[in-house]
Amino acid sequence: MRNYNFCSGPAALPEPVLRQAQEELLDWRGMGASVMEVSHRSAEFDAVAKQAEADLRELMAIPANYKVLFLHGGASHQFGMVPLNLLGGAKTSCDILDTGIWSEKAVAEAKRYGGVNTVKALVQRDGLFAISEPASWKLDSNAAYVHYTPNETIGGVEYHFIPETGGVPLVADMSSNILSRPIDIEKFGLIYAGAQKNIGPSGLTVVVVREDLLDQALPFIPSMYRYKTHAEHGSLVNTAPTFAWYLAGLVFQWLKAEGGVAALGERNARKAQKLYDYIDASGFYSNPIHPSCRSRMNIPFRLADESLNKAFLVESEAAGLMALAGHRSVGGMRASIYNAMPEAGVDALIDFMREFARVNG
């Protein structure tokens, strides 16, 4: 029996995707071998790679002047690759909007390769955490790019708007909310996302980059760190993470069958709203984020009596609700409800929380 899995990442994958992968594991496309065991240069794998890219382009409505890269590694690699690839032109500094732990990691890495103007974008409003007024941000019109984290996976803070940068390329670490709602790609210079939250298994990172940004890399960087190298070789410079790429492709097909990103966006809004509504009304649980910027993907919450945390985790686990512990740096609880979390999983969580509060409140 499968649990409802609230892990922040690696996160739950859609069950139909896992079933298809299981069915095809021993004998993929009549090849007498699994997809993991065939050449990344084979016509069969090439078809997988091209289909995955075409499906992602369709799902996100990515224009032709953007490259889609399927890279090794995690989003953390991009904290370095972004400045290495974008700070080697005439402009040698960047702005980074700081809304929490993931933004701060991006700041620390970018500082190794150029100037960083860190813009504090998280403030207190009505006793809750909130994204500050964009009018208060001191952005540098001469920056090479502005980096932000549309969804802070640990804090549970999400922008429900796209920052205006006055023509400076906008870079987004979309690891935990890519494909969760429709977005206008043309507002972005570069988007990256580690796969293990909303795309597929870990070990793969997707980068969507506007072509005109491929020519401003720092000269000394290894060719494997250059976006341009990967763009010129269809992300097949060397042995790609083929199984992760294949699984990502199955997830894209599942997303299309579910009605695409618009349909998922509505479902995600509904899932998050009912959980927040329950938390706010409960008198037993609380969420520290201002309603204007609450995440639809990662919902942290605390119990009024934290001595009950252990019991909450043991009993939720026993009820088939997995991985609700908050990030080790903040404690409390967190429910990650990405695309693959069905609405029934959120309903089951709310039922459990209500019963736990009734017995222990």
Contact set for ligand PLP, span 210-249 (CB under 6 A): none
Here the tokens at position 223 are 């060719």
Give backbone dihedrals phi and psi of 118, rounded to 5 degrees, phi first: -85, 125
Let me know if 22 is exposed, middle or buried by CB neighbors in 10 A (0-12, 13-18, 19+): exposed
Piece in contact with ligand PLP (CB under 6 A), picked from 11-19, 169-177, 317-325, 337-345: 169-177
Binder among 176, 268, 287, 336 for ligand PLP (CB under 6 A): 176
Quote the least distance from Cβ 76 to ligand PLP, whole Å: 3
In whole angstroms, the minimum distance from the beta carbon of 149 to ligand PLP comes to 5
228 tagged catalytic: no
Q: What angle do CA 258, 264, 268 make, to 5 degrees?
A: 140
| 164, 192 Cβ separation under 8 angstroms | no
300 binds ligand PLP (CB under 6 A): no
Binder of ligand PLP out of 6, 9, 107, 156 (CB under 6 A):
9
Tokens of 300: 């942290």
Question: Among residues 55, 95, 98, 173, which one is catalytic?
Answer: 173
Cβ 156 to ligand PLP shortest distance, Å: 11
d(CA 325, CA 316): 10
Tell me the closest approach of the beta carbon of residue 8 to ligand PLP, in angstroms. Answer: 7
- The edge-to-edge listing of strands for the beta sheet with 93-98 is 66-72, 204-210, 190-194, 170-173, 146-148, 93-98, 115-120
The active-site residue out of 28, 102, 137, 245 is 102
Alpha carbon distance 221, 81 (integer Å): 9
Q: Are 16 and 345 in contact, with CB atoms under 8 Å apart?
A: no
**The one among 88, 169, 194, 332 contacting ligand PLP by CB under 6 A:** 194
Q: Does residue 310 have an active-site annotation?
A: no
- Compute how many residues bind ligand PLP; rule: CB under 6 A: 12
Provide CB contacts within 8 A for 57, sequence distance 6+. Answer: 68
* Interface stretch with ligand PLP, choices 172-180, 181-189, 271-279, 331-339 (CB under 6 A): 172-180
Question: Is position 173 annotated as part of the catalytic site?
Answer: yes
Q: How many CB atoms are closer than 10 A to CB 227?
A: 23
Choose, by CB under 6 A, the member of 95, 98, 109, 173 that binds ligand PLP. Answer: 173
For residue 333, the cross-strand partners are 301, 325
Our finding on whether 82 is near ligand PLP (CB under 6 A) is no
- d(Cα 177, Cα 196) in Å, to the nearest integer? 11
Q: How many residues does the chain have?
A: 361
Given the rule CB under 6 A, which of 113-121, 173-181, 182-190, 272-280 is the region that contacts ligand PLP?
173-181
58-66, 70-78, 128-136, 159-167 -> range binding ligand PLP (CB under 6 A)? 70-78
Contact residue for ligand PLP among 28, 48, 53, 74 (CB under 6 A):
74
Give contact residues for ligand PLP (rule: CB under 6 A): 9, 74-76, 102, 149, 153, 173, 175-176, 194, 197
Q: Tell me which residues are annotated as active site.
A: 102, 173, 197
